[in-house]
Amino acid sequence: MTHASWQEIQRADSAAIWHPYAPATGGPAVYPVVRASGVRLRLADGRELIDGMSSWWCAIHGYNHPVLNRAAIAQLQQMSHVMFGGLTHEPAAQLANLLVELTPAPLDRVFFSDSGSVSVEVAMKMAIQYWYSAGKPQKQKLLSLRNGYHGDTFGAMSLCDPVTGMHHLFGAALSQQLFAPAPGCAFDAPCEDIDLAAMKQLLSQHCTELAAVIVEPVVQGAGGMRFYSPQYLVKLRALCDEFDVLLIFDEIATGFGRTGKLFALEHAAVVPDILCLGKALTGGYMTLAATLCNDRISSGISSGEAGAFMHGPTFMANPLACATALASIRLLLSQPWQRVVQRLNKELSAGLAPARALSRVADVRTLGAIGVIELHEPVDMRVVQPMFVERGVWVRPFGRLVYVMPPYVMNSADVAALTAAMVDVVAQL
């Protein structure tokens, strides 16, 4: 198969495409990819890059995996899509039951959607509709954390940090939510009552209007790559129960092994009322997300005025995506993935450690298969992105964070090359 040249792809791209978080024209360079296999991206000019981003954290098995390829091809030969209103199919039924089996009780009902942001929108609507059905329609607001990130759609944007969450331009148009300080207790440190004092005060003052609290358990992702104590979640669950407010966990980024547990909530053995999953759900092959809830939510909504949950995406439970997700989860569980993530953590920790000595570095931290170098000042993407490409790695920093979430299949030599490039680029900035 012949491919267009590097120059032809770039010309076509610049003529019509608007890339994420970039100006329509004159933005940072983009790099045409013609093939992806394993942990490598092949560019149109022949260069290969070690991918440290798992394509925004979802390609946990790397690219072009034979098991996932076979699953997608087999499902494609049956049907690629069918509407989910009034119909069902085997991949969705099997996937829903597998998710219920893998997540803790009493999460026993699964609502599929198209993306992580939409799964958060679904969770918000579930919480609000539940309270409406329970005769408390005044419970409409949500309480989130500073430094949190929950997606780019309008409801999800309202839950992101209004200052650091990349969405302040839309502030006047968004629903006004409540925000508690980000947890100050480190991942490996105890969490004291004082760490949740502001959260408790907000719950006490606003419980009559609050539908739910939503947090990213243990790891705050795009809002700062911050890791915090699992004990915070234990105390938060107790507070939500005390003030009769639902608890939502956003595990879109952390689900399916990224933190060293299958789900980050397992670090605390805490179960939310609603759980959002996405990203790695299909191993990066297809866009798919899921929102799980307990019987209290599903029965409460179903017995309410509407008699149904008022949401229905066109591509909900897409068969091709569901079949691929089944294959991805089964592939993950068939392997010693915990040992793999532990190895990645040790190698990321060792490889990034030299960055601690650099004057422009504020912190270096790792958790599971996540490695972060935090700088004192934001990076200039026009400068830093080509530096990584020249070193044969794909790392996509944002703000003050130079971080990686590599595919689980990455070997030790590639991890070493990846971390060495990160330290070298930071040293050269």
- Find the catalytic residue in 51, 152, 195, 250: 250
Backbone φ, ψ for residue 366 (5° rounding): -140, 150
- 329 with 221, same domain? yes
Boundary residue ending a domain (281, 299, 333): 333
Distance, CA of 166 to CA of 160 (rounded, Å): 8
CATH number at residue 408: 3.90.1150.10
- 148 with 268, same domain? yes
Distance, CA of 58 to CA of 42 (rounded, Å): 18
Residue 51 catalytic? no
Boundary residue ending a domain (310, 333, 356): 333
- Find the catalytic residue in 125, 195, 279, 414: 279
- 155 with 118, same domain? yes
Residue 139 catalytic? no
Q: Is the whole-model pTM more than 0.95? A: yes
- 322 with 355, same domain? no
Please tell me the predicted confidence (pLDDT) of residue 2: 56
Q: What is the pLDDT of residues 38-56, one digit of tens each?
A: 999 999 999 999 999 999 9
Query: Strand 178-180 relative to strand 246-250: parallel, antiparallel, unpaired?
Result: unpaired
Residue 149 catalytic? yes
Average pLDDT (92-107) is 98
- 344 with 317, same domain? no
- 26 with 107, same domain? no
Q: What is the mean pLDDT of the chain?
A: 96
Boundary residue ending a domain (315, 333, 351): 333
- 94 with 184, same domain? yes
Which residue range(s) make up the domain with 411? 6-64+335-428
- Find the catalytic residue in 63, 149, 232, 403: 149
- 169 with 273, same domain? yes
Residue 90 has pLDDT above 60, yes or no: yes
- 45 with 154, same domain? no
CATH number at residue 191: 3.40.640.10
For the chain, what's the residue count? Answer: 429
Query: Strand 289-294 relative to strand 40-43: parallel, antiparallel, unpaired?
Result: unpaired
Q: What is the pLDDT of residues 178-227, one digit of tens each?
A: 999 999 999 999 999 999 999 999 999 999 999 999 999 999 999 999 99
CA dist 226 → 7, 178, 218, 221, 372 (Å): 39, 20, 8, 7, 9
Would 201 be classed as within a structural domain? yes
Distance, CA of 212 to CA of 383 (rounded, Å): 42
Structural domain total, the chain: 2
- 210 with 282, same domain? yes
- Find the catalytic residue in 21, 45, 241, 295: 21
Distance, CA of 247 to CA of 274 (rounded, Å): 7
Residue 21 catalytic? yes
Residue 1 has pLDDT above 60, yes or no: no
Would 1 be classed as within a structural domain? no
pLDDT confidence tier of residue 165, bands split at 50, 70 and 90: confident
Residue 88 has pLDDT above 90, yes or no: yes
- 229 with 323, same domain? yes
Q: Is residue 137 a contact partner of residue 208, using CB atoms and an 8 Å limit?
A: no
